[in-house]
Amino acid sequence: MSGTIVRRGVALAALLLAAAGLVAYVNRAEVARLYALLNLFEPDYIVENFRAMHRMFDTVPVRAGDEVWALEKGTPITLPDTFDFGGEPIDTSDFLEYTNTTGLIVLHEGRVVFEEYYLGESAATKHISWSVAKSFTSAMVGIALDEGHIGGIMDPVTQYVPDLAGSGYDGVPLKHVLQMSSGVRFDEDYDAFFSDINRMGRTIALGTPIADFVGSLRNEVPPGTRHHYVSMDTQVLAMVLREATGQTLAALTEEKLWKPIGMESDAYWMVDSTGMELAFGCLNAVLRDYARFGLLYMNEGKRGDTQIVPAEWVRASTSPDAPHVMPGDDVTAVDGLGYGYQWWIPAQPHGDYIAVGVYNQFVYVCPKHRVVIAKTSANAHYLDDDSISEPQAIELFRAIAEATSEISVQTIAP
């Protein structure tokens, strides 16, 4: 899943550091980035690092407006003591502690019914979202389509980014990129110096434009035939947005999402050496603003009477429409999740959907129970538990949503 960009991060970082010795000149900024990458996922530093990315890497702001979408307080809830996973009960408190949860917020009917911060986090902390950022990028594609900057989702990528001609994205329809079905070959071998994932790391750390790395990828299978999670697919969407609209992703996010939604705090995107946003996983924001984004989607793209993301796009983004992106039946399996337009659809679908970031970042939306949950984490065990914490978290969220709905019904009962 989203772990495709960071698995075995320490081994990758060490390899990058060794590669730096082969470079004739490496400036101080590049050395600092390499050092930061080397320590980014270390258990002793991971919690602090995930809320301090701006100190280690180049960033650009996404500014909030003057008008904030106020989140009213609802009747407080208590989290379920346990939740079921594969027929076995899991203690909720133990799970939150094990995954190094730094923030958890629950909205019901748009009201805050639970909000807690842990491990030194606060409501003002800007925490990295990793691949949750992909869902924000998808929203921008839907807006650009609605405004006529993009003609249609079956338009080929190269209609907007001709520089990708000859790459694995040549002629690939935007829809297949949105569904992580581009057909692009992506080598996940962290032990091979010239693997794709390692080349991506060197691209960022040593100052080469991320667009150059994207252009180096090649096709493996026909587009639209296989779901294969490639974080660079999202990077391509950002490239398309920039060329189609003439604006950077940060500027678009600020103008079309952040200010219209009424986010309460500035956010920031991490960028490469050219100022290109790293759209595949580098948006940093406060927990309540992640929750507001989920609330926007639960309301089919509307804040009050204002349509921000087209309702049709919200529905299409969260409704898989081809066999290779459909969810499965096993809620305990990572590969049981289905996929929409940069949103995950849980196994045994109940109409809920979720944005997922590596190391357990989540924005969960359950229209049935009118619940939105956002969670930030710095799960130092993530690589050890084979990502099983992701389906476990989904089952926890489902238990919270159901319990919250039942409490609400009891509260209003005569």
pLDDT of residue 17 exceeding 70, the answer is: no
User: pLDDT confidence of 200, banded at 50, 70, 90?
Assistant: confident
Render pLDDT for 253-289 as a digit per residue (tens, 0 to 9): 999 999 999 999 999 999 999 999 999 999 999 999 9
pLDDT score, position 187: 77
227 found inside a domain:
no
**pLDDT tops 70 at residue 12:** no
Whether residue 6 is predicted with pLDDT greater than 60 in this model: the reply is no
Calculate the average pLDDT of the chain: 90
Q: Is residue 223 part of a domain?
A: no
pLDDT of residue 190: 42
User: Domain for residue 203, yes or no?
Assistant: no
Q: State residue 3's pLDDT score.
A: 46
Q: Is residue 240 part of a domain?
A: no
Q: What is the pLDDT of residue 15?
A: 45
CA 135 → CA 345, 357, 394, distances in Å?
12, 10, 17
pLDDT for 21 equals 45
Residue 235 lies in a domain: no
Question: What phi and psi, each to the nearest 5 degrees, are found at residue 183?
Answer: 85, 5
Q: Which residue has the tokens 């926890």?
A: 396
Residue 352 has pLDDT above 90, yes or no: yes
**238 vs 14: which has the higher pLDDT:** 238
> Coil, strand or helix: which one is 32?
helix
Q: Can you give the pLDDT at residue 36?
A: 75
Task: Match 């081809």 to its residue by tokens.
Answer: 322
Q: What percent of the chain has pLDDT over 90?
A: 79
**pLDDT attached to residue 409:** 52
Residue 206 has a pLDDT of 77
pLDDT of residue 192: 52
To which residue do tokens 């991060």 refer?
A: 9
Residue 104 included in any domain: yes
- Specify the number of domains making up the chain: 1
360 domain-assigned: yes
Helices (H), 183-286: 196-205, 210-216, 231-245, 249-252, 259-261
Q: What is the pLDDT of residue 40?
A: 83
Domain containing residue 7: 2-133+142-152+185-198+246-412
| For residue 171, pLDDT beyond 90 | yes
User: Among 40-54, 185-199, 322-336, whose mean pLDDT is lowest?
Assistant: 185-199
Residue 174: inside a domain: no
281, 238 Cβ separation under 8 angstroms: no
Residue 126 has a pLDDT of 98
- The residue type found at 87 is G
Give the number of C-alpha atoms closer than 13 A to the C-alpha of residue 149, restricted to the C-beta side: 16
In angstroms, rounded to a whole number, what is the distance separating the alpha carbons of residues 92 and 285?
25
* pLDDT at residue number 34: 66
Domain of residue 113, CATH code: 3.40.710.10
pLDDT of residue 65: 97
- What contacts 400, CB < 8 A, 6 or more positions away? 77, 79, 80, 83, 106, 114, 371, 373
How confident is the model at residue 165, as a pLDDT? 98
Integer Cα distance of 62 and 250 in angstroms: 6
**Any residues with CB less than 8 A from the CB of 219 and at least 6 apart, and which?**
168, 170, 172, 183, 184, 185
For 24, residues 6+ apart whose C-beta sits below 8 A from its C-beta are none
